[in-house]
Each structure stands twice: as C-alpha cells, then as structure tokens.
A = this chain, B = another copy of it.
Amino acid sequence: MLTDKAPAGLQDHLGYWLRLVSNHVSAAFARRLDGQGVTVAEWVMLRELHGAAPLPPSRLADRMGMTRGAISKLADRLLDKGLLARTADPDDGRAHTLSLTDAGCVLVPTLARLADQNEAEFFAILTAAEKEAVEAALRRVVAHRGLTGMPVS
C-alpha cells in the first residue's frame, strides 16, 4: 500500500465527538420541531426575536451566523407561516425590522418546551457536575477563540 503509517483515527479527535453528539441532538430536535411545522433555523430565528425589540435582518444574520441572503429567505418562509412580520423602517428607507406576530409569540414557549425535553432526554445520563464541566470547557473555548454567531448548519 502506498500510505504513510496510519494517521490518528477520527475518534481520537475531540471534534469528532463534539460533532457526532451535536448533529444527533440537532437531528432529534429537528424531528420534534417537524411536528410543529417548523425547522431548526426557523426556531432559532423565532427564539432570537422572542421578547426582544424588533431586529433588522442584518443583525439577525450576525447573531445567527448566516448570510443576509439566507436570513431574507428564512424570513420569507416565516412570513408565509404568519409567525413573523416585516416592517419598513420609517427613518431609513433601506432598513427593515423583523418581529414576531402574535401567533409567533404564542408558539415560542411551546417550541422552547420541546427544546427542553430534547436537552433533558439527551443528557439524562450525565450528572449535573458533568454537564457543568462540559459547558464550562466549551465556554472557555468559545471565549478564548472569540467565537460568535452560531452557524445554523
């Protein structure tokens, strides 16, 4: 064979386990949300707007780690579902703001409950101390590398 000696296996990387678990958590959550006719990205946007002042799309793009183009289309879909409103900024002719409709506001707590269930179900085997330790470690990585804006996919 034309190979060097075998390199480190995928499973030797922390990144592998992170992604394995993370993807499964997301996939399971997506299945739950599916029953409510909502995607994960839509949930994130709804959550981002819930209980907050109306936000311009560009701000959401930053916070959600997506491009403005993606936000624009995502907003369109939520608009079609009647969960979101798009309002022109009276002061700046270019700007718009996005906010939840009443239906959107009502829906969020339901979805949040699904998120809680998903979280609980997945990490049930871990003790509180373990969860704390993992979260603390991840927070340190985030802080140290200045990570910001969750890429939705």
Contacts and interface: CB of A to CB of B under 8 A. Distances in A.
B145 A23 contact: no
Contacts of A151: 23-24, 27
Given A16-B150, A141-B21, A147-B20, A47 B134 contact: no
B14 A18 contact: no
Copies of this chain, tallied across the complex: 2
A49 to B, nearest CB: 11
| Contact count band on A | 35 or more
Contact of A15 (B29, B65, B137, B139): B29
Interface of A: 1-4, 6-8, 10, 13-27, 29, 44, 47, 50-51, 65, 102, 105-106, 108-109, 112-113, 115-116, 118-119, 122-126, 130-131, 133-135, 137-142, 144-145, 147, 150-151, 153
